[in-house]
Amino acid sequence: MVNELKVDPKLVEEFLNINKNIFEAPKLVRAPDEINMDMTPYDVAYSEDKVRLLHFRPTTERQIKTPLVIVYALINRYHILDIHPQKSWVRNLLNQGVDVYLVDWGTPTNADRYLGFDDYVNGYIDNCVDFVSKETGEEKVSIQGYCTGGTLATVYAALHPNRLRTLTLTAPVIDGQKDTTVVGNLAKHIDVDKLVDTIGNMPPEFMYFVFSVLKPFEQGLEKYVNFFKNIHDNDYVENFIRVEKWLSDTPPIPGELFRQWIKDVYQENLLIQSKMYVGGKQVSLKNINMPLFTQVAVADHLVSPESSMPIHYAVSSEDKSLQIYTTGHVGMIASSFSQKRVLPEFGQWLKERSNK
């Protein structure tokens, strides 16, 4: 008796095609290490310790005088804001005539383990704002904070409201108790004192674990199958490798900053209650009185919109907007959607509130 195995020939063909693509891949695709992540030209305007303030070169005539300082997140690097010419947050703003500065936090080492919120907010951010203000002659600047950078920007705005013309928060972590993501769930249960006291800085490997539990099957499996299926599509492949390289490169977070972050924002939820202290001063969200633009994404699986939106109601600003986009955490800043929807709205909002 012969057992016949019935397999659809199309299935076999697809399997063989993927196999062929896997073998061809090294000839068609650049290795992540060979890719330079810097796209839009910039100058390092100011640096302090490991922090650099990047000033992007204009692509068109400036439409507004008030400069924009982007405070990037503490996780991964700023390259996601300039990941691809057609999806670049920075380039889009430059094309709209905005003068763009960006804070690159660099790579903290063991020697930086005692850096805390005070150093980041009252030190680095304040010094960057100070520098931009002097260089441009504008007394006040606009700040945009993304993700954890949004939290830092919020604390800065509460402690130094007179330095800011406008504040834009893109997926900021504000109300840790309302965060319904896996990140929030893990953050609430971690013994952060033990981690910092024993290891020092928050190791990147810990973040890689957190990334791995976010969407394990879609992100860990399907996207690689799709990559090999689309290996002949240059644009797709280039974008894929750049995003992958960005994802796999996150610097450590200074120990004391991480400790206060987890405790005050996630575990004790002090920030939204205006009970957080930074540099000996109370962070009162009511001090935020400048125009505020909050951008959240409904499908954000890193910072849930419920965690970001409370800032809209906690500040004393009379001019404030809350925009909810139908995209995800990264989709809001580096996608075709963000180019078509998010950035034009942001640019227009900035123009209406800046010095011309």
Partner 1 sequence: MQASDSKKAQQYYKHVSLFWTDLLYLMMSKPYALAAAGPMRKFGTNMKKLTTELIDSNDDLVEFNSKLTEYYKQLTDTWAEAQKQFSKKIPEIPNDAEHLEASKRIWIDIFENYFTTLFDSPKFAENFGKLVASELELAKHWNSMISELLDNANLPTKDDINEIYKELHSLKKRIVRIEKDVNHGTVKRNGK
Alpha-carbon distance values, 52 to 61, 111, 124, 146 (Å):
25, 17, 9, 17
- Number of CB atoms found within 10 A of residue 189's CB: 8
- Residue 298 is a binding residue for partner 1 (CB under 8 A): no
Gap between the Cα atoms of 304 and 278, Å rounded: 25
Alpha-carbon distance values, 18 to 170, 222, 242, 259 (Å):
38, 13, 21, 46
- Residue 139 is a binding residue for partner 1 (CB under 8 A): no
User: Which pair of tokens denotes residue 53?
Assistant: 């303030």
- Residue 14 is a binding residue for partner 1 (CB under 8 A): yes
> Which residues lie closer than 8 Å to 93 by C-beta, 6 or more apart?
68, 100, 343, 346, 347
**CB environment 41-64: b (16+ within 10 A), e (fewer):** ebeebbeeebbbbbbbeebeeeeb
Helix, strand or coil for residue 44? strand
The one among 111, 298, 299, 324 contacting partner 1 by CB under 8 A: 111
In the complex, the smallest distance separating the C-beta of residue 118 from partner 1, rounded to whole angstroms, is 8
Q: What is the DSSP secondary-structure string of 285-341?
A: GGG--S-EEEEEETT-SSS-HHHHTHHHHHS--SSEEEEEESS-TTTTTSSHHIIII
- Residue 49 is a binding residue for partner 1 (CB under 8 A): yes
Catalytic residue among 147, 175, 264, 312: 147
Catalytic residue among 82, 112, 264, 300: 300
User: Which pair of tokens denotes residue 211?
Assistant: 């990334």
Of residues 24 and 197, the one with the C-beta less far from partner 1: 197
- Residue 135 is a binding residue for partner 1 (CB under 8 A): yes
Of 71-79, 125-133, 290-298, 318-326: span binding partner 1 (CB under 8 A)? 125-133
Of residues 28 and 44, the one with the C-beta less far from partner 1: 44
Of 22-30, 69-77, 159-167, 198-206: span binding partner 1 (CB under 8 A)? 198-206
State the number of binding residues for partner 1 (CB under 8 A): 45
The answer to whether residue 301 is catalytic is: no
- Residue 273 is a binding residue for partner 1 (CB under 8 A): no
Amino acid sitting at position 212: S
The answer to whether residue 147 is catalytic is: yes
The one among 36, 41, 198, 280 contacting partner 1 by CB under 8 A: 198
- Residue 10 is a binding residue for partner 1 (CB under 8 A): yes
Binding flags for partner 1, 148-187, as an x/- string (CB under 8 A): --------------------------------x-x--xx-
Of 25-33, 155-163, 217-225, 339-347: span binding partner 1 (CB under 8 A)? 217-225
- Residue 50 is a binding residue for partner 1 (CB under 8 A): no
Gap between the Cα atoms of 179 and 250, Å rounded: 22
In the complex, the smallest distance separating the C-beta of residue 279 from partner 1, rounded to whole angstroms, is 10
∠ at Cα 277 (272, 281), nearest 5°?
120
Provide the β-strand partners of residue 164: 141
Helix, strand or coil for residue 261? helix
Of 23-31, 127-135, 140-148, 159-167: span binding partner 1 (CB under 8 A)? 127-135
- Residue 189 is a binding residue for partner 1 (CB under 8 A): yes
Of residues 294 and 300, the one with the C-beta less far from partner 1: 300
Phi, psi of 120 (to 5 degrees): -70, -45
Of residues 97 and 123, the one with the C-beta less far from partner 1: 123
Of residues 46 and 246, the one with the C-beta less far from partner 1: 46
Catalytic positions are 147, 300, 329
Q: Which chain residues interact with partner 1 by CB under 8 A?
A: 8-11, 13-14, 43-49, 110-111, 113-115, 119, 123, 127, 130-131, 134-135, 180, 182, 185-186, 188-191, 194-195, 198-200, 213, 215-218, 221-222
